[in-house]
Amino acid sequence: MSRAPLELSNIHHVFDETNWKLVISNLQIQSGQILGIIGPNGSGKSTLLRIGSGVLLPLQGSVDLGERNIQKISRSNIAKILGYLPQELESLYDLSVEEVVSMGRYPHISSFGSWTAADRDAVARSLHFTEMQEKRNSPLSRLSGGEKKRTFLASVLAQEPKVMLLDEPTASLDIHHQIQFLSLLKILAADGMAIAVATHDLNLASLFSDRLLVLDQGKIAAVGDPKQVLSAELIHAVYGENILLGQHPEVDRPTLIPRIIKDKKQ
């Protein structure tokens, strides 16, 4: 089996203020797969992705991008291989969709270099892929939440990365746009991209992930095939007892249904 394009080994990170710890012994993000990352609030999903993308340096451990330690690669060279979409997307200025997407070409163009046909093609492809080409001139302030997310995803895609780490990209999207967004990721993974997506939506994670990682209090509670990982025992241990486990009517994937909490007096 060929080496994973992104591998985290012996990660140990502590936030001084709270003494909260993230401990990951080994995690590989494989080409051609979507790794869903789930876990309750504060379980370490964002910290894991920030460390994986080199945005946050862990106190201990290493992140290898391809054959090299990510700390030894320049930010610009990292961005040619790895795309990172943070959770908070807040532009200071009301840029147009095309301006934001074009900014994804940063690692491919030197400070005083000019745009080539390849750069223009990459931007056009990203706009087309995310179905934002018709809104290319719209300012960010005129876009819906879903369109904004797609715009920033397009800007990451314009980097032409081989690995993509996305932090809650479907948060605040309606179910239609959530499905649409994750379907786009499926196409990219089928093309060979290695993708990791942190999400709070357990059902979508179950449906769209090739592998599922469950984080609990900064540690890996389980990782593997969603069918095996999403057991009632694990879900109750991590999320509590008020979740029922069912089966998706069309595909062989577990579905999670919330249970109504009964009044204790009754």
Partner 1 sequence: MKTKHFLFYLLLFITVIVITPWIGPEKTTPGAILQHIQGPSNPQGEIFFFQRLPRLILALLTGGALALVGASFQVLFRNPLVEPFTLGVSGGSALGAFLAISIPSLWIVWGPFSSIQIFAAIGASGSLLLIYRIANRPQGLSVNTLLLAGITISIICAGAILLLTYLASPNLLMSFQRWMMGGIDIVGYQDLISLVPFLLPGGILLFIHARDLNHIALGEEMALGHGVDVKSVQKHVFIGGGLATAAVVSLTGPIGFVGLIIPHAVRGLSGYDQRIILTGSFLLGGAVLAVCDTLARTILAPTELPVGIITALLGGPLFIRLLLSRRWR
Residues at the interface with partner 1 (CB under 8 A)? 50, 53-55, 57, 74-80, 83-86, 88-95, 99-100, 103-104, 106-107, 111, 141, 152, 155-156, 159
What is the Cα gyration radius of the chain?
19
What is the nearest approach in angstroms of partner 1 to the Cβ of residue 104? 6
How many alpha carbons lie under 13 Å from residue 83 in its C-beta half-sphere? 28
Residue whose CB is less far from partner 1, 106 or 239: 106
Length of the chain: 266
What is the nearest approach in angstroms of partner 1 to the Cβ of residue 127? 17
What is the nearest approach in angstroms of partner 1 to the Cβ of residue 94? 6
Residue whose CB is less far from partner 1, 99 or 210: 99
Cα distance between residue 193 and residue 34, in whole Å: 8
The residues, ordered by sequence, that sit 6+ positions from 200 with a Cβ below 8 Å of its Cβ are 38, 168, 171
What is the nearest approach in angstroms of partner 1 to the Cβ of residue 66? 16
Residue whose CB is less far from partner 1, 104 or 226: 104
Residue whose CB is less far from partner 1, 89 or 237: 89
What is the nearest approach in angstroms of partner 1 to the Cβ of residue 111? 6
Phi, psi (rounded to 5 degrees) for 188: -65, -40
In the sheet that holds 6-15, the strands lie side by side as 68-69, 60-65, 6-15, 20-29, 219-224, 211-216, 34-38, 194-198, 163-167, 82-85
Structure tokens at 129: 């892929």
Residue whose CB is less far from partner 1, 80 or 136: 80
